[in-house]
Chain A
Amino acid sequence: MVVLETDKKTLLGYVGRDITDEELEETLFSMGFELEKADDGKLRIEITPERVDMISVQGCARALRQYLGIEPGLKKYEVRPSGIEIFIDESVKNVRPYTVAAVVRGIEFNDERIKEIIWLQEKLHDTYARGRKQAAIGIYPLEPITPPIRYYAEAPEKIRFVPLGAEEPMTGREILEKHPTGIKYAHLLQGKEKYPLFVDAEGKVLSMPPIINSRDLGMVTEDTRNVFVECSGHDLKKLNTVLNVIVTSLADMGGRIESVRVHAYGQGYSPPDLSPWKMTLDSDQLERWSGIRLSAAEMKPLLERMGYDAEEISSTEVEVSIPAYRADVLHPVDIIDDVLRAYGFDNIPEKISNLMTVGGLTKDTVLSEDVREIMTGMGFQEALTLALTSTEDQYHKMNVEEGPHVRLTERKEKSINMVRTWVLPELMKVLQSNRSKPFPQRVFEVGYVVIPDSSSDTLAKNELRLAAVISDDKANYSDAKAVLEMLCRVMGWELALNETGHGSFIPGRTAKILLNGKECGIIGEVHPQVLENYGLEHPASAFEISLQQFIT
């Protein structure tokens, strides 16, 4: 999700019509975007990531003009050749092989517009370009550049220019090691023997993509009228989309677009390519997918409100022209979605088809419900704890050695580092948070744990468990045993207990639980060291059993 930040005046300036706050909010909602009005008078519009063409104020205004019928249909942009050429050198093929570029002339830059274009550039970098990995955009004042431009790769030591934000020339290596922007994006060139470079005919450096522009050639100011835009990366399709989004936004600011001739590996192309591509949509397809039947004549205006051009081929078929800045249209269903957005989701009638199916619950649910009924009947309160926990809580505080478990390595929340392998420690946390609440406290949970298991395709499996704990002045082994015995009696499970040792429980008051002859749990009086570790002041007895054998 990208949040477009602007103010109403700027946005409406581009829309070209006054709109009330309510109308704006409602229109954006119907189009699929949420408007948030901030206290500072700014508008924040949540743009979903597929509409990369709408993350500029100009692009958003363009979509609003179309949807509101102010200027429906595909917006056409004229492209003239600039005569400028870029030569891509073989040396850059294994580093960052492609670039596309364009020239936009006649823009009245002011402080606000410079901010807008930098903002758009950054948002494209962060989102669609995945942190400059897939596309790195450079925007330069046109005049100081002497064409043709060369795109090649050079050894970092041999690269030397003054980057934006610095005073002295730096080598390629120094930029990655010392310059803040260089440090931030250094990982993108990690392991490369040579770094990509844009250089003009006089040998002046434009930029070292995807890292930074040069100070001398790469800074747009209020005096700039004509710009050179370049976009480098690996996938020409993506690069073209990014370039198209930028040049159309600049054109909406009043600029005229010109193409650049790129020579790459024996081939040539002349971006920007703003010619639309075509797809056919027919009434049957629309009806089968959405349940809404519309003729070609009815589809046409809806499509135009979504920024497409539509030509009626027959009474039920339209040929749809898709703008070159739309990256998300893969299949006719994408166009159907847009037809419905224009039709209005609110106008789609509800229906429930007559599909006879037999309902049912999983064995897990049925067993859990039976166990829940018996446990609550015995006065136990159900808990619902978390699966993500820590080795500290699961093992150390429970006074046991670490066992096999699913580790969380890259996690934002540092208090967790594993998926639980037993439930009882989580119930101890319930007791811990409720020390001031009335006793006795009898708490249970039916829930899953995750056990590493190499026989599973994901190398782990869920296991359904029941854990129960009794905390009271005189809670003892016998209390827990009485509950377990009652449960087994009514569930029809044959129970056997074998004395065992376990760090969490008091020696001589601990047993392995066997249900129907299968070892599947532990019961005992909780060791005072464990109680102390959880800051508990009352004795506790507890048990935990696996229910897995009864559901598989």
Chain B
Amino acid sequence: MHEYERKLLQALADAGGKGDFEDLAEKAGLNTGAANYALAMLAEKGFIRVHESKREEVSLDDEGKEYLEKGLPERRVLDVVEKETGVKEVMKKVPGNVFRIASIWLVRLGLARIRSGTISLTEKGLEYKKKKMGQEKVLELLAEGKTVPEELKEDFNLLKGRGRIVKTREVTERVLEITEQGKKALSEESEGEEIVQLDSEAIVTGSWRGKKFKRYNINAPAPREYAGRVHPTVKIMGLVRRIFTEMGFKEMRGPWVESAFWCFDSMFVPQDHPAREVQDTFYLEGKARLPDKDLVERVKKVHENGYDTGSKGYGYKWDPELAMKRVLRTHTTATTFRYFGKGIERPAKYFSIDRVFRNETIDRTHLPEFHQIEGFVLGDVDFRDLVGYLKTFYRKMGIKKIRLKPYYNPYTEPSTEVFAKHPKFGWLELGNSGQFRPEALAPYGITDNVVAWGLGLERLVMLAYEKHSIREVLGPACDLEWLRTYRIPGGYESGSA
């Protein structure tokens, strides 16, 4: 038996086995919906009989309410006439329409006679000046919602016949009666009372013993729960970090605000390279300080004449002022070269996942900032290792097929663009990589080969979650609903040792 059914049945039993449905529902503490549900279920199970009867419910209509307040028209006239009063006199005290109705009723009830412009009260009329008329009593009883007694039935009928004074409505009354079956069910029920919400008291007192637990509808809707979660892009960053640390890479960090020296000159980007122009790079006010003089001198020489690398160099005059310009770094290779500048051990494997900035406008698919996955391997490596590291990384990311396209960077040779084959989106460009040129490495005394890459993070994120715009995976416009409910991406080899 449902809790509602039990409560209603109990209330019925308490009321002596018979009672009005609405009263019982109130006693059982059930709202209309719950009570109706219980009623239907109990009747269907044969635990109760329902006796329905219809009756008329009477209440005051508009005019009735007005009369209750101001008095019936005949009463208002009765109040202002004496034994004999001229009609004109009366008309000064009550409105014409009131007088017209009153005159009909005063005559009909035998309270007055009207002749040649004069009202004369009868004996009865004089008596009722001080006494309530039957219809007045009915009006008051109806206003209080009481039933009209038999002796006033005639007056009630008269009043009901007078237009918009009373209104009637048919109501169904349900009287419930408990059946033998119902009594039995109730006694069985109370022997092993059902526990709905198990509470601490029930556990501590042991009152749960011998009781049944209410059976729930296990598919009933439950309230929606939200977990606090890491951002889906941070989730992928974590995976990338794990893959590189699995392969023995150390993580790097570098500043967002850089000097043009570290961002460009340090790695042999010529001073007139288009990427250095304000159309692509955010230049900032103020002048950065250059690193130690010897390093700057070697960088200058390598640009101008190739230094000791056997290169021709760019054959221009290197300008330290241009290297002192402050920029928001356009790539994380700036950080790689800061690490070279500090002195790097050999062999060395480093990576970083960090933010870079490009002077671009914001639209549906572009942001002036994003993240790069930077990495380098320094030691006894060659171009085959670049292919090897890239393929291994992407395999671990679940991307089985990648292709390298020859490309051009001023600081790597060979340079390659990395393309990946995605089952849904086809060939996609994922990043840029290459082998640092001797001119890029010589100022730091590095004679080993160094293979390196700068890969797009957001592209990977968008692929993982099948999103089409960077703005869905980075920035304040991300949909909170998605951040709270995104599916953990699958298909990665990292983690399957």
Contacts and interface: CB of A to CB of B under 8 A. Distances in A.
B39 interface: no
Of listed B279, B284, B287, B480, residue having the most chain A CB within 10 A: B480
Nearest to B451: A353
A387 B251 contact: no
Contacts of A427: 476
B384 interface: yes
A372 B306 CA distance: 48
A443 B476 CA distance: 11
Contacts of B446: none
B392 A355 contact: no
Given A32-B406, A289-B382, A458 B258 contact: yes
A371 to B, nearest CB: 11
Q: Give the size category of A's interface with B.
A: 35 or more
Contact of A358 (B248, B284, B290, B316): B248
A127 interface: yes
Contacts of A289: 382-383, 435, 449
B331 interface: no
Contact of B257 (A30, A288, A377, A450): A450
A336 B415 CA distance: 11
B272 A134 contact: yes
B290 to A, nearest CB: 8
Nearest to B232: A384
Contact of B382 (A290, A355, A406, A462): A290
Interface string B277-288: 011001111111
A306 to B, nearest CB: 11
A167 interface: no
A69 to B, nearest CB: 18
A68 interface: no
A168 interface: no
A351 interface: yes
A383 interface: yes
B360 A412 contact: yes
A134 B270 CA distance: 14
A17 interface: no
Interface string A362-393: 10110001001001111111111111100000
Nearest to B437: A333
B408 A50 contact: yes
Contacts of A361: 241, 245, 251
B388 A384 contact: no
A410 to B, nearest CB: 5
A328 B369 CA distance: 30
Contacts of B467: none
A403 interface: no
A309 interface: no
A28 to B, nearest CB: 10
B257 A360 contact: no
Given A346-B403, A348-B387, A353 B380 contact: yes
Contacts of B383: 289-292, 340, 348
A383 B249 contact: no
B481 interface: yes
A364 B255 CA distance: 13
B252 interface: yes
B483 A381 contact: yes
Interface stretch (A263-271, A430-438, A509-517): A430-438
B310 A331 contact: yes
Interface string A319-348: 000000000101111101100110001101
A387 B245 CA distance: 27
A384 B478 contact: yes
B459 interface: no
Contacts of B438: 331, 333
Q: Which 8 A-B pairs have the closest CB atoms?
A: A32-B406, A291-B382, A429-B476, A48-B408, A331-B311, A434-B480, A359-B245, A376-B228
Given A349-B387, A353-B379, A382-B229, 12 more contacts: A331-B311, A332-B310, A340-B414, A346-B404, A356-B248, A359-B244, A360-B245, A376-B229, A377-B228, A411-B282, A432-B476, A457-B290
25 contacts: A32-B406, A51-B408, A288-B449, A289-B382, A290-B383, A291-B383, A291-B385, A292-B383, A330-B311, A330-B314, A331-B413, A333-B435, A337-B406, A346-B404, A348-B387, A350-B391, A355-B377, A357-B347, A386-B474, A409-B284, A410-B283, A416-B362, A427-B476, A433-B480, A457-B288
Interface of A: 29-32, 34, 48-51, 127, 130, 134, 235, 237, 287-292, 328, 330-334, 336-337, 340-341, 345-346, 348-353, 355-362, 364-365, 369, 372, 375-388, 406-413, 415-416, 419, 426-427, 429-430, 432-434, 437-438, 441-443, 448, 450, 456-462
